[in-house]
Structures are given as structure tokens and as C-alpha cells.
Chains A and B, each alone.
Chain A
Amino acid sequence: MHNSLPDRMTRFWRATGGLIAWSGYLFLLMPTLILVPVSLGGSQQLSFPPEQLSLALYEQFFTDPSWWGAALQSAKIATLSTMLTMLIAVPAAYALVRGDFPGRRFLNLFTLSPILVPVVVLGLGFYLNFNLFGIGGSDLSLVIAHTILIAPFVVVSVSAGLRQIDPALETVATIMGAGRATIFFRVVLPQIRDSLVVGALLAFLISFDEVVASYFVSGPSTMTLPVKMYSALRWEISPVIAAVSAMLTILSLVFSVALIHLQKKSRGH
């Protein structure tokens, strides 16, 4: 008797909070839930739920070279940018975590700063700058722009991995006579394999989906999939976008499940 009123109130507030939370989850899941059905609705009218089932939009995508060409271009740029980023950001992260030199904190902040700058500002900077270097509108300009944007994410995830492994192992290897390079490749990298994979997946996905900076940097012959989608959404709303979006959603779903799995694994030991 004494406890019943507070109990009922507790239940009421929990239910209210739960209701808001579940609407929130539903809202977060909405794009993932509706896009695949919408894309299977055929080409007439995009709606959810779809009125008929057909693969017409996917057929349109795969028979129109301007669409699948843009997807290939994105895959190419994302692969090259991820490779370049891993090549330069992993050693940098190692130096930032293990190094002990003046200006380390400042350099750490500097390498992370592209995350903090609005992408449109970076886009404008690239736009004004790349013509100076004579690489405006080329694949190289896209790869460089994407590398600047994704390097901070790789530095963060690799640094996190490095902070979890015991530096004494590297010291032991030094005592045993291993050189710096051997230690880096044979002792350090194998231990942070999961963090490397997380960083690379993250970098690839961000590059593959990047639109604002690419919109400023790419030319008609180097147009990536997001840039093509953006102009299609702005100017024509072509139904093919439904098929593209559905495929990108599935890609994101696969990536996020893989990443959460990897992050759990790397935190596990």
C-alpha cells in the first residue's frame, strides 16, 4: 500500500521514456527499413509501401553506364584514398602515441583538425587551391581531398589500438636486437590488426559516401556516385536513386555490423 503510488509513477515515467526512446529507434531505423521495399516498387511512382514488385530500377541502374560508372569511380577513389591514408596515417599515429617530442600535443590536434572544420569550408579551400596545383577536376584531386578527410579517423582508431597494447613488448624486441622497422611490422602491426581493419573500413565507407568536398572537387569526367546522386536528387529525382539508396543502405548495414563486431573484439582482450 505504502509503495503503490511511487511504483505506479515510476512505471508511468519509465513507459513515457520508453515510448520516446522506441520512437527514436524507429526514427533512426526508418531509412534502412523503407528503402529496400521502395526500390522494389518499379519505376512508376516511388512510395512506401510499394504497389508492385519489380527489379526494374536495378535493371535501370546496371544498364545505365553513367550510374554504374559513377559507382565504379567511387569504389576506385575510395580504394586509392584508403590505401594512401593507411600508408601515411598509421606511421603517424604510431609516432603520436609512442613518440615523446616537443609539439606532440599540437601535432595530434593538427592531424585531427580536418574532422572539426565544416566540410563545405574544406571544399571551398580545395576548390580555390587545386586549380593552382593544376590538378583540379582530376582523380588525384579527389584522392587527396578524401585522404585529408579520412586520415583523422584512421589516426583516432589506430591510436586507440596502440594505447591498448603493452609497449614493453617493443622494448623487449629492442633488447633482443630487432630494428625499428622489424618491431613496427612484426611486433606492433600484428597486435593492432583489428584497429587497422576498423580504421580502413571506416575510411573506405566515409570516402565512398563523401559528397560535399567531392562536389567542389570533381569534374564531369570524375563524378563519384554521391555527387551524381546529389545532382539527381536536386534536379530530377530519378527513380533509379531508390535502387542506389537501397544498395548503399545494405552496404552501410554490413559495415556497421562488421565494425561493431570488430570493436567489441578489439576491446575484449
Chain B
Amino acid sequence: MNHALDTRHAALLLAPLTLLMLLFFLMPALSIVWTSVHGGQLDLAAYRELLTSALFRRVLATTFEISIEATALTLVIGYAIAMHLARLTPSARAVMMIFVMLPFWTSILVKSFAFTIVLGDAGLVNRAISWLFGTETPIPMLFNRVGVVLGMLNFLLPFMVLPVLGNLLAQDRTLQRAAETMGAGPVRIFLRITLPLSLPGVLSGVLMCLSLSVGSYITPALLGGRTDMMMANLVDFYTRQTLDWPAASAIAMVLLLITALIVVLLTRVRGGNVEVL
């Protein structure tokens, strides 16, 4: 017996979404391409200007720096959280998962606002530091790189914890027990068994976090300083401040290309599955 829908019915069911996406997803994407080459004249001036623009090169470098710093920090803390979760009983894990997923459900604006209160000169963190260490001068953590990286960490953690946790839970526990019986210490077991076996999950989480962070817009705008401008902010700057649409479109194309490369790697790692969570 055949459960499959025939092609005609499938086409009818798919038509509304596909049509809407052709008009309002593909068309907008194509108008970016079109605008970036000055209205289809195949004029590459906007791209040539990017190559010589000191601002663009600085922003490109900043984008990579912040993305790599945030992803690295997310990996360390996300891995510790995933290991902790993997050792819990399933019901305790379900409760703790709410903590991990909460940032995913919380508006990025709300999170950024919370950071502006906690990380300021008179904020909770600085008061705690001065109480603990008796220091007088507050550490600047807001409107600079520290603020952006911490804001991104909060946003990225769920995307790292989930793939790593999935991998840790799938690992055969008897391997670790065997190593323990043979006299291997915890560090050795971690480095030789747990970590290597979890590498696919780690890679998947790292690529996901990189692809999300290169496109960040809100976090650098609200928690960063002038020098922490990322590519998405530059797109907005050229679109709204200088009304230079070809430049904005050319930068958007570069950003899209970088993201596409990361996503292609990600689909390789995940064997064709591109679902985010």
C-alpha cells in the first residue's frame, strides 16, 4: 500500500508557502544582489570600494574576532553544562533544561537590557568584585568587547549545549567504566574518551554558534562600543544613515557568503540535517 501523496496534491499543498517565499524571500534576496551591482549594470564599484575601505576591513576583522571569542567561551561553558546535564537523572535533566532553554525564549532586547544593569560601573558584578577584592575602580564591562562577548555567550549557550549533550548522552558509558577499571584518571578519560567521542557534537555546536554570531546585530549595537561594530551594524549604517544602498547590499552579500560557507560545513557535519535545535 502506498502512503505517499501524489504529486498534484503535494504541489497544491506546497503552493501557498512556496509562492509567498518566492515573492518575499527570494525576490528580496535577488534585489540585494541587483542593488549591490548598481541596478543590474554589473558594476562592481560597491565591492571595489569595500576592498579599499578601512572601515569595512576593520569591521570584518572585528566580526571574526568577536565571533571566535564568543564561540570559544561558549564552548568551554557549554561543554561543562552539557557534562553536568548528562550525569543527571532524566527528570532532573528536564528541569535543568528549562534554565538552558530560557535564553532561547527570552527577547534579545530584554537580555541586553539586563546586562546593561548588571555590568555597569555601579552594577552587581562590579560591586561584587570590589566587595570580594576590596578594589575601588570599577572594571569597564559595558559598551566594550567584554559586554559584547558576554551578551553573545548568553545568546549562544543553548545552541552549544544541545548538540554536545545529545552526543554525550549517546556515548557508551561502559567505555568510561572500562577505562576507570584499567586505572585511567578522570583527566585521561575525558581527554582520551569523552572529548574525542563528542567531537561531532562540538563541531556542530561551534559551527552553529559561528554562523549565528557573524550575523549579530542587537548585541554589538546595545552592549558594544564604537569599535565593536559588526557587519550587520554596518549594513544598517549604510542603509539608514548614509542611504548608500549599493554599499549596504555589497556588505550584506559578503555576510551572506560567509554564513553560507559555515552552513555548508554544518550540513556536512550533521549529515544533511539543517534544523537549528
Contacts and interface: CB of A to CB of B under 8 A. Distances in A.
A25 B99 contact: yes
B217 A99 contact: no
A125 B32 contact: yes
Nearest to B245: A128
B21 A245 contact: no
Contacts of A23: 77
Contact of B97 (A117, A209, A241, A260): A260
A255 B218 contact: no
A95 B112 contact: no
A72 interface: no
Interface string B203-238: 000000001001101100110000000001001100
Interface stretch (B47-55, B131-139, B166-174, B185-193): B185-193
B16 A245 contact: no
B20 A144 contact: yes
B24 A144 contact: yes
Interface in B8-53: 9-11, 13-14, 16-18, 20-21, 24-25, 27-29, 31-32, 35
Interface string A25-64: 1011111101100100000001110000000000000000
User: By DSSP majority rule, is chain A's interface helix, strand, loop, or mixed?
Assistant: helix
Interface residues of A, number: 96
Contacts of A114: 21, 25
Contacts of A249: 106, 110
User: By DSSP majority rule, is chain B's interface helix, strand, loop, or mixed?
Assistant: helix
A192 interface: no
A34 B114 contact: yes
Contacts of B185: 6, 9-10
A118 B83 contact: no
A185 interface: no
Nearest to A11: B186
A101 B10 CA distance: 8
Given A34-B117, A94-B13, A180-B9, A252 B105 contact: yes
B248 interface: yes
B250 to A, nearest CB: 11
Contacts of A94: 5, 13
A150 to B, nearest CB: 12
> Which of the listed residues A14, A27, A209, A215 has the most CB atoms from chain B within 10 Å of its own CB?
A27
A189 interface: no
> Which of the listed residues B25, B190, B263 has the most CB atoms from chain A within 10 Å of its own CB?
B25
A124 B235 contact: yes
A67 interface: no
Contact of A129 (B17, B24, B109, B183): B24
A117 B259 contact: yes
9 contacts: A24-B80, A28-B102, A35-B110, A94-B13, A96-B14, A110-B21, A120-B236, A125-B31, A212-B232
Q: Which 10 residue pairs are nearest across A and B when measured between Cβ atoms?
A: A125-B28, A118-B215, A99-B10, A31-B114, A21-B84, A167-B3, A20-B80, A100-B4, A120-B232, A95-B13
